[in-house]
Chain A
Amino acid sequence: MAFILPFLALWTLFRVGPVLYGILISLSHWDPFGSTTFVGAENYLRLLRDPRFWEALGNTFEFASLAVPLIVSLGLVFALLVYGAQRMRWVRVVEAALFFPYLLTVSIVGLVWRWLFDPDFGIVRITAKQMGVHLPVFLNEPRWAIPAIAFATTWWLVGYRMVLFRAALEDIPVELYEAAQIDGARWYTLIFAITLPLLRPAILFAVVLTTISGFTAFGQVLIMTQGGPGRASEVLALYMYRIGFDYLEMGQAAAVGVVLFVIMLVLTLLSFRWLGYGTEL
């Protein structure tokens, strides 16, 4: 029992404690210069009445519904490609290149993509123009800001997913493929009849974990658009930051945190349901 105490203390104080404390703060009004008073559900009601909150919620859903499928599916495709080329000599280099962006900190990712997407001198638009394609001004157009950030996020995280999927692929016994090949199965049959069914748990985890990181996206948005143009790309985490640390409405910010927490909990449970897995974690 004594072995558990150090971690238990740390965990209680800095992990679970803050969750409970956050609920408490979300039920109070906090005056930066005075005292804290209990106000019940008021912060939550104010959230519900704030059109900005609903915008942010919608933006978060839009971001996640773009980024999560992109990251998971591309991660899987990349993993299959790399797995299929195991005998190729420079496959290690390919894998290294695809994985490398994950090691960059989010602010580098944000700054680099801000530069790549620059309306006037960004290489993406210039190259497209040279090839005769007219692209939108991604980060400065309300419709395109979130898709552009989702794309940058995909670039950043897909290598991480790839590596995990590849490890899962290696757990599948080669004999299964060999047996199917003897029966005359083609590569697409192998993928759909053997690989994908066996990867279901791995895909489930990928979806859950990517969704969680999608719903808490913050750094890349802050750096690439500051939530703009206007508030077109203001996601929940950014809204929470603005409300709490710019407007000093800490109670309301904590309420956003609780809402985020609940969304995450519901999404996790739902995806376990849908994909039908009571996995042992």
Chain B
Amino acid sequence: MSVRRFLYGLGLTLLATLWILPVVWMVSTAIKPTPEIFALPPTWIPRRLTLEHIRVVLERWPFLRWFFNSVVISTSSTALSLLVSIPAAFAFARLRWWGRDIVFLAFLSSLLIPLEVNVPPLYFLMNRLGLLNTYPSVFLPIAAMPIGVFLLRQFFLNIPQELDDAARVDGCGSFRILWHIILPLSRPALAAMSIYMFIFTWNEFFWSMIALQKPTMLTLSVGLRALQGAYDIDYGILMSGSTLAALPALVVYLFFQRSIIRGITMTSYR
């Protein structure tokens, strides 16, 4: 039994190591001198360390600006979607109004439409609105995704109706019920949704690439593509850029692994 458990553990550990090796190789390539990158046999742990590639990336491209753009766009889409999804979910979960079920069904059916399908019309729309190359062009369509409304509605439905009724007897209006009763009880759902929206926006690629063309307006995700030279491939630079871009995710993940995984699982209808 204990031998089997040991082998099981060993197998799992090997699998995890294998899975993370590409990331290790990325970092390793990023911090070794160019000749060593192409050395045979390859060195997993660099013999000489250099920050040269990272310096070049930061000097030649507005990398920090891209980082800033990513932060602003992801924060905005998260904030906006919270702002509009909370009252909508409340209206679906707690209020009775004419046409509620039909509107909900309409939202529901739009759940599975991927953003990619909408790229050409969104381009026209944003062009007409004069929003291309601005932050809202990216975060508005993402905040319009109905996923948050569903998650929050589901969560609100599980909060006892008696709390609302008691508050109503005491003369509370809908807004105060939402603000003082429902929201304080919904922190886990709000956190889950925020995490999901932030990661989704941070990683969005296709539409961001179309909407943002100006070099200083790119997000990290899109900007990394610009590091690819037109003719030659400099892997030291590419891997440095990738490592820098992965760093925030790694740091946040180290501290908040639990909540991130919980956020992801809560947001998905499993």
Contacts and interface: CB of A to CB of B under 8 A. Distances in A.
B63 interface: no
Given A21-B124, A92-B257, 6 more contacts: A21-B125, A101-B23, A126-B42, A164-B268, A216-B206, A268-B112
24 contacts: A3-B87, A6-B83, A7-B146, A7-B149, A10-B84, A13-B125, A15-B146, A17-B125, A95-B261, A98-B15, A103-B249, A104-B203, A105-B220, A106-B203, A111-B241, A115-B239, A126-B41, A160-B264, A218-B116, A219-B205, A219-B221, A240-B120, A260-B116, A264-B117
A267 to B, nearest CB: 10
Interface stretch (B137-145, B159-167, B183-191): B137-145
A159 B239 CA distance: 22
Nearest to B227: A111
A16 B225 contact: no
Contact of B124 (A3, A25, A113, A260): A25
Interface string B217-228: 000111011011
B155 to A, nearest CB: 15
B259 interface: no
B235 interface: yes
Which 3 residue pairs across A and B have the least CB separation, nearest first?
A3-B87, A7-B88, A22-B121
Nearest to B266: A167
Contacts of B205: 105-107, 218-219
Interface in B106-138: 106-108, 110-114, 116-125
A261 interface: yes
Contacts of B199: 103
A163 B265 contact: yes
Contacts, number: 264
Interface in A59-118: 78, 81-82, 84-85, 88, 90-101, 103-108, 111-116, 118
Given A3-B174, A107-B205, A213 B141 contact: no
B95 interface: yes
How extensive is the interface on chain B, given as a class? 35 or more
Interface in A197-251: 201-202, 205, 208-209, 212-213, 216, 218-219, 222-223, 237, 240-241, 244-245, 250
Contacts of A237: 116, 206
Contacts of A123: 25, 42
A15 B114 contact: no
A154 to B, nearest CB: 11
B269 interface: yes
A126 B39 CA distance: 11
Chain B interface, >50% SS class: helix
Interface in B198-236: 199, 202-203, 205-206, 209-210, 220-222, 224-225, 227-228, 233, 235
Contacts of A14: 122, 125, 140-141, 143-144
B2 to A, nearest CB: 12
B239 A111 contact: yes
B112 A91 contact: no
Given A13-B144, A96-B257, A118-B235, A22 B120 contact: yes
B221 A105 contact: yes
Given A105-B245, A261-B113, A1 B238 contact: no
A56 interface: no
Contacts of A8: 88, 103
A121 B206 CA distance: 29
A257 to B, nearest CB: 5
Contact of B113 (A15, A164, A165, A208): A15
A103 B220 CA distance: 13
A44 interface: no
Interface residues of A, number: 90
A94 B11 CA distance: 11
Given A7-B87, A14-B122, A222-B225, A1 B97 contact: yes
Interface in A26-79: 78
Contacts of A3: 87-88, 90-91, 95, 174, 178
Contacts of B206: 216, 218-219, 237, 241
Nearest to A257: B117
Nearest to B226: A107
Given A10-B140, A11-B110, A155-B19, A94 B13 contact: yes
A148 interface: no
B40 interface: yes
Given A167-B265, A219-B205, A106 B270 contact: no
B26 interface: yes
B20 interface: yes
Contacts of A126: 40-42
A105 B224 contact: yes
B29 interface: yes
A216 B116 contact: yes
